[in-house]
Structure 1
Amino acid sequence: WIQLDAYESDLSWIRYGQTVEFEAEAYPGERFAGKIAFIDPVLDPASRTVKVRVNAANPGGKLKPEMFVRAVVRSKLSSGGKVLDENLMDKWISPMHPEIVKDRPGKCDICGMPLLRAEKLGYLASKNKNTETPLVIPATAPLLTGTRAVVYLAVSGKKGIFAARQVTLGPRAGDDYIVSGGLSEGEEVVVEGAFKIDSDLQIQGKPSMMNPEGGAPDSGHLRHEQHGPTKKETPEYNKQKPEPSKKQAAARDFSITIDRVAQAYFAIQDAFSRDHLANAQKAATDLLDELATADMKLLKGEPHLQWMKLEAGIKTSTQDLQSAKDIEGARASFEKLSGPVTTAIAEFGGGKTAVYRFHCPMAFDNKGAYWLQDHRQTRNPYFGASMLGCQDSVETLVAGEKEK
């Protein structure tokens, strides 16, 4: 038999008796197959994985103890969220030998144990309307906060207008998310660049992912303005608006400073991916030094007010990271730092280097968290070596002229 490690986020797809395909590093290109015979009921808290045992044939004794294998389970999900295997509908299965499947109750031919109905093992019970294909959207479409998921939809009849909508997501299926509620088939959603739309709405004080009710930017320059009831606005974004972008209003010298701040941020991210607190805190000092060189006099009007807010958030989070007593606390501060740094790069950066925005669904007790990198190879800063490759979405924030 083969023992596999399955990530916590994959458990919704895994069932006893499923067929598993796997390859061994010793035999590249050769595929083996088996069936899931046991799923450990206990999760490993360090790796966030569950042990899965697979019964597999071993032709010619090729498979040796301690060999490393990579496995794939291909699941089909019904619209009701149940794993669908038409070959097991209304069938009876041995609880110890998954290869024993019968049409009626009885005992296992091998061990003599009573057979169980397939639905008791998590499969769809029988053919009904729930066997329809579920509604899915690309994994790049939703913006995830850990507690909510928001997508931007094209407003019918209004070219260039997009509206935010909260949706309920099911499990991730490869490059897609299953949608449990909030969307209908045929609606058009933004699949690339939704974060840029949302970022602009946040700056304008309109309803957005992080601030559903909207509100004016919190800046010291606004303290003397008249206070009073605010008008609730529809969460829409018009890409044909004739106003110049903030990035156009930012001076070239200011953009160079932001790019240096970004490089210090990437150094922090890299240090956390290597589980190295001291290096992360040293890079945080470098980030504050670069931040201090930013000349706000180069910015006029709304970009100036915008930077005031971003600078405060970057400075506070970085200082908290510097003073953290352990790597867990420092990583929590890094997560807070990632938000304003993302907006600063998107709005004020020079755009010469590609920047990618990653999302880890398991960070901070499955609340999820984002981070940035200047290359596409996943290096998770929230888990480091224990789950270096953990991510469920990658979005291009800045296309850039070059990539590391």
Structure 2
Amino acid sequence: MKNKKNIGIALAILIIGLMLGWLIKPSGNTSSDDHTITSSNDQIWTCSMHPQIRQNEPGSCPICGMDLIPLETSGDEGEPGVYHMSENALKLANVQTMVVGRGDASKEMRLNGKVQVDERAAYSQSTHIPGRIEQLAINFTGEKVSRGQTLATVYSPELVTAQEELLQAAAIRTSQPELFEAAKTKLRNWKIGDAQIEQILSGGKAIQRFSIRADVNGIVTEKMVDLGDYVERGMPIYEISDLSKVWVLFDLYEGQLAAVKEGNNISFTINSFPGESFEGKISFVDPMLNPQTRVATARVEVNNKDGRLKPGMFASGVVKNTMSEGQTQELIIPKSAVLWTGKRSIVYVKTNVDGRPGFRLREITLGPSLGDSYVVQEGLEQGEEIVSNGAFTIDAAVQLSGGVSMMNPDGGKTSTGHDHGQAEPLKFEINDNVKPGLNKLVDDYLKLKDALVKDDYSQARTNAQAFEKSIETVTGFNEEGKIVWESYKKELIADAKVLSGAAKIEGMRARFDEMSTTMIGLVKTFGLTNGGLYVQHCPMADNDKGANWLSRSKEIQNPYYGASMLRCGEVIETIN
């Protein structure tokens, strides 16, 4: 009873203390902590790539890792169509500008090719004597031969008969000299020289076997007969090539033909001689495309007296071509300044309104690609200042403010897309329950890629449908991971629906670029290597804008062109 009484007294004292504390608490929100929170809410920070991210302080986007930018309103009260950003926002977004100038439009193109035999120095050695091959002096390809060297020995019944006719005519040549001369002429037609004819006459009997001698110097590149074979007059028996000069034939795809011309200088390397560079000049460009491979060839003639270059060796060349006509210089801007939306090309031009930096969207017409830059045909003038780095960030800020932007030409609130190609994605740790589902998603993507490589539309569509189903099976994230996954999931579902609903394989390939970009970000974010993956790039995909894809094999197998340009591309990154 005493213990219970003590407990009751203690509880009563606690309740009274709480009531007193509540009574003396200030009614106004004037604490320093509350003031700090209110102050921080005055500025909202967002991600230019993921506008759904809103924070009260600067930092990094939890999805893509980009630096957050301050969410501001544009200066619409000033000049219409101009978006204003503070100096602080420009620095945080790393916006850089440049003055548009003119320069020589030169383009570096990388070409792949092979060392080949000079067709003009390839000789088909034929037999001038019909008969049976009794002996072969040259038994394998690659053997060196000299002019006049014996290649084979032939037994010819027809030639034996002709010799006997000569001996008979010789016996009556005093009375019938015409017959004797006709018999000798018949042997000369078989390339039997006068010395051999005199040998037959002096010996008084027919020679049973005759030698076939090489007409040229060179290397035997093909052997066409075997011992015991019967050959007809004029039949080829060996292919002999002079390798003191060779050709290096480089493949030219349709998009490269306009930039490569006869007379262009080219520097190239041979895989067999790492670190060594060769120089040459393009002497001939094939006027016709191969209908199967859809490529033409550019020929470089190379002196090979030392015999180091072997037919079949792989070569990699670089051609630098000046595309300006005469003394005319072109307007050139970097690729980083250009935003793409379908067929439209957009840049942001910097203006100053009342001393404040502003940016106006402008559509331009682009000319040829010069590697890391473009020629501008219309839309810009020399001396204008454009955004060279950070154009996407400005456009995203304009979209958030409801202004006229790349994807929203009429203005109004919108959201930006998801593009992990703009920054290195955030690395995110996941538990073992999530990995199986994500790994299956990667495997289904790779199966889809393989079907596109094989030009198999039916299989690709089936794989796209399987990929879409696999998206829904990915579960097990914690709360933070789920936010990151939902961003990827939304885009992957949209991509999969387009691919599975495409009527032709070309439509699937057009959207596979976006799916691949998202999958590359997904793999990097969640560390889905499974033994290593390669990021591969085709510079000709997406109308020469280039596109990436993932592969487990280092060997290039292009899903955007399939068999027509299977080896077009290169490895640009290894994900371990």
Superposition TM-score, scaled by structure 2 size: 0.40
Check the 8 A contact 2:338/2:346 in 1, yes or no.
yes
Task: Say if 2:332 is the partner of 1:136.
Answer: yes
Q: 1:403 to 1:316 in 2, by over 3 A?
A: same
Query: How far off is 1:73 after superposition?
Result: 1.7
One of 510, 529, 546 as aligned partner of 1:335: 510
Q: Are residue 147 (structure 1) and residue 328 (structure 2) matched?
A: no
Deviation at 1:264, TM superposition (A): 6.4
| Matched-pair contact (CA < 8 Å) for 1:260–1:290 | no
| Structure 2, gaps ≥5 residues long | 1-246, 417-424, 529-533
Distance 1:203 1:288, change over 3 A: farther
Q: 1:189 aligns with which of 387, 411, 420?
A: 387
Say which structure, 1 or 2, has more relative contact order (CA 8 Å, 6+ apart).
Answer: 2
Distance 1:145 1:379 in 2: 28
Q: Give the fraction of aligned pairs with identical amino acids, expressed as a percent.
A: 30
* Aligned counterparts, 1:5-44, within 5 A: 5-44=251-290
For 1:82-97, what aligned pairs fall within 5 Å after superposition? Answer: 82=325
Check the 8 A contact 2:348/2:391 in 1, yes or no. Answer: yes
Supply the AA of the counterpart residue of 2:379: G
Query: Number of aligned pairs?
Result: 299
1:279-298 aligned within 5 A? 280-281=460-461, 283-292=463-472
1:204 positional shift: 8.0
Residue 462 of structure 2 contacts residue 500 of structure 2 at CA under 8 Å; is this kept in 1?
no
Structure 1 residue 37 displacement after superposition: 1.9
Q: Which amino acid aligns with 2:387?
A: V
CA contact (8 A) 1:356 1:375 kept: no
TM-score between the two structures when normalised by the length of structure 1: 0.54
Answer whether contact 2:408 2:414 (CA < 8 A) is retained.
no
Aligned 8 A contact 2:346 2:362 in 1: yes
Q: Distance in 1 between matches of 2:523 and 2:568?
A: 27
In structure 2, the CA distance between the partners of 1:209 and 1:10, relative to structure 1 (3 Å rule), is farther
Paired residue for 1:65? 311
Partner of 2:105: none
Per-residue CA deviations over 1:266-315 (Å, capped at 9, x if unaligned) read 435632564274764454234322444689xx9xxxx9xx9999687445
CA gap 1:264/1:182 in 2 versus in 1, 3 angstroms = farther
8 Å CA contact 1:288, 1:315 repeated in 2: yes
CA distance in 2, matches of 1:331, 1:281: 12
2:565 corresponds to: 387
Are 2:249 and 1:3 aligned?
A: yes
Q: 1:165 maps to which residue?
A: 362
Note the 1:1-400 alignment, pairs <5 A.
1-44=247-290, 46-77=292-323, 81-82=324-325, 124=326, 128=327, 130=328, 132=329, 134-144=330-340, 147-153=343-349, 156=352, 162-183=359-380, 184-185=382-383, 187-191=385-389, 194=391, 207-209=404-406, 212-213=409-410, 263=442, 266-267=445-446, 270-272=449-451, 274-275=453-454, 277=456, 280-281=460-461, 283-292=463-472, 313-314=494-495, 316-320=497-501, 329-336=504-511, 338-339=513-514, 351-352=525-526, 360-363=539-542, 366=543, 370=547, 373=550, 380-384=558-562, 386-388=564-566, 390=568
What amino acid maps onto 1:56 in structure 2? V
Aligned alpha-carbon RMSD (Å): 5.2
Could you say what secondary structure the match of 2:467 adopts?
helix
Unmatched segments (≥5 aa) in structure 1: 83-123, 219-234, 236-246, 397-401
Output the CA distance in 2 between the equivalents of 1:197 and 1:261: 37
The amino acid that maps onto 1:320 is G
SS of alignment partner, residue 311 of structure 2: coil
Contact 1:266 1:374 in 2 (8 A): no
Greater fraction strand: 2
